[in-house]
Chains A and B, each alone.
Chain A
Amino acid sequence: MEGLRNDGRRWNELRRIHCQLSTSSTNADGSSYIEQGFTKVLCNVTGPAEPSSRQKVKQDAATVTCEVYFAAFSGTDRIKRGRNDKKVQELQTAIQKTFASVILTHLFSRSEITISIHILSQDGGTLAACINATTLALIDAGIPLKDYVCACTSGQSTSIFDNEGSTPDPWLDVNYLEESDIPSLTVATVGETEKIVALSMENKVRIEMLEGMIAVGISGCAKVKGIMDAEVRRYGKTRLEAATGE
């Protein structure tokens, strides 16, 4: 069954992704900005630097710290989220754990890498956008990673069935409306290896559907990686040309 979703996309189409590197002037060692549809996220990375407190000193590796700020104006209604908000904490932990495993932390012992993320506009797939933005900011900061970490969401419509009574294809890159309507998950992979580093799902779904959703999510990650890689190369080229004066 082939139909269009409420924003006119097919089941396997991503929203428009626009990304930028080095967006911030002097603030941070690396910065990035990503738009996935109407989800807009800004990320600044500082470090590797002297840890801000003694507790964060690890003798054999760098500590990864993550701060997430939801702008009060980011949603449809104005909501202020404090630092101890459950959703903020959850996002911080998810991103921190994901990147602690992908950054080559053993190269920077006794130092700290701080990731600070500002969510400016939310329209579904917030975690995915945060992860993608962080990858770009880390690349901009020149921090060695095993590979790109790319994230994407996928959802499974549970109310629509085709003529044979089987469920249709999962939807790739769900927006806010779809996200609040159907069960969806966020999956993050390392490069093109299809190895999953983060997987998060907050709804109930029948077990048979899960594999299909993950598979579609992974294919989305590969597409996202292509887009991010193209931007990194484009940006790298302009910088190189500026540096060599060609």
Chain B
Amino acid sequence: MPPPTPLSPPELSYLYASLSLSPPIRLDLRTPTQFRPLVAECSFLPHCNGSARVCMSEAGECIVGIKAEIEKDATTKYVTVIEREKWIEVSVEVAGGGASGPGSGMGIGGISGAGGATGRDEGDGGAAVWLKEGLLAGGAGGWSILDRLVISSGWHWKLYIDVLLLTPTSHPSPLLLSTAVNMALDSTYLPKLTSPHDVDDIPTFSDDWAISVPLYEPKTFPRPPMSLPVVAVGDNVFLDPSVAEVAAAEAGLVVTLSLSDAQGNCDIVGVRSMEVGRGGGKEGDRKGINRKLLRQMVNACVKEAGEVIKGVGETTHQQMFRA
């Protein structure tokens, strides 16, 4: 189900009409690729390796805390890919005001495959799934975040990413979640290893946070991934859609990207469809998306994402405890 909106059918139809004009007119007079302002801060929780708080006017507030614990590899000889994927655990908890308690079962922003809770990730397991998916996707040259988590032979960091969504009953935008996770990851530091790399004994670490190691080395690529929601109405494509725009849209995607170089070029690491309203048509009357439009939507994300991810990254670095 798409997120519920307080809009009546005539209002929706009006919105649909104004969004399908050429050039389109958005309700808040943004240009099609303009994002809404947000408030973000990071590195404010002393007990976490990385933390971030992001507020958006419509979608509410999101707090992310990342904790790293050392863990022994499950098997020393045959470390398979599947076991390595367990090194990162993402969990999303929704704590809305009153009506939607934790585990209300609604998928975040109606992203496909994000419905039912899966595995250990309680509450909105679905969001945890696509957040992790983007994170695990490697970069150019076989880069993988999992390699950064290796401590020494037989030992690795286990990364717990806990997302706390403080949102009203309205539609929590995937942008809110992914911005918060992006900033938290970008500000994550791990203690520096002081014992030798190639010894099986329990590793020892330096107490000095001034020489701790960033999870994502600054000024290197790829940067942490970020998911951008995009919708299409008619032939027009809109980034960062509001709840009303999602309700009026004909097609929606969440495109996960990571920055691949300093020029702002991005790699696509995941695309998921996002459930939207019924567009201009009647209920159950789906037109489907044509291939050209789909490409246009993804292209719009790729084109704008570089600037967005770079902007968020700069904000993060300004606030980090070791700027």
Contact = CB atoms under 8 A, between A and B. Distances in A.
Interface of A: 24-28, 38, 40, 42, 44, 46, 49, 52, 67, 69, 71-78, 80, 83, 114, 116, 118, 120-123
A123 B46 contact: yes
Nearest to B45: A121
A26 to B, nearest CB: 6
Interface in B257-281: none
B66 A25 contact: no
B50 to A, nearest CB: 10
A25 B45 contact: no
A120 B102 CA distance: 16
Interface of B: 39, 44-48, 51, 55-58, 60-61, 63, 65-67, 69, 91, 93, 95, 97-99, 102, 160, 162, 164, 166-168
24 contacts: A25-B56, A25-B57, A26-B58, A27-B167, A38-B47, A42-B63, A42-B166, A44-B97, A49-B98, A52-B99, A69-B93, A69-B95, A72-B93, A72-B160, A73-B47, A73-B48, A73-B65, A76-B47, A77-B69, A78-B67, A78-B160, A83-B102, A118-B63, A118-B164
Q: Is the interface of B mostly helix, strand, loop or mixed?
A: strand
Nearest to B158: A78
A121 B44 CA distance: 10
Given A25-B56, A40-B45, A71 B166 contact: no
Nearest to A73: B65
A83 B55 CA distance: 25
Contact of B60 (A25, A40, A46, A118): A25
A38 B46 contact: yes
A44 B60 CA distance: 12
Nearest to A69: B95
Contacts of B58: 26
B212 to A, nearest CB: 17
B97 A116 contact: yes
Contacts of B65: 71-74, 120
Contacts of B57: 25-26
A27 to B, nearest CB: 5
A46 B162 contact: no
B209 to A, nearest CB: 14
Given A27-B167, A72-B162, A78-B160, A120 B63 contact: yes
Contacts of B99: 52
A71 B55 contact: no
Contact of B98 (A38, A72, A114): A114
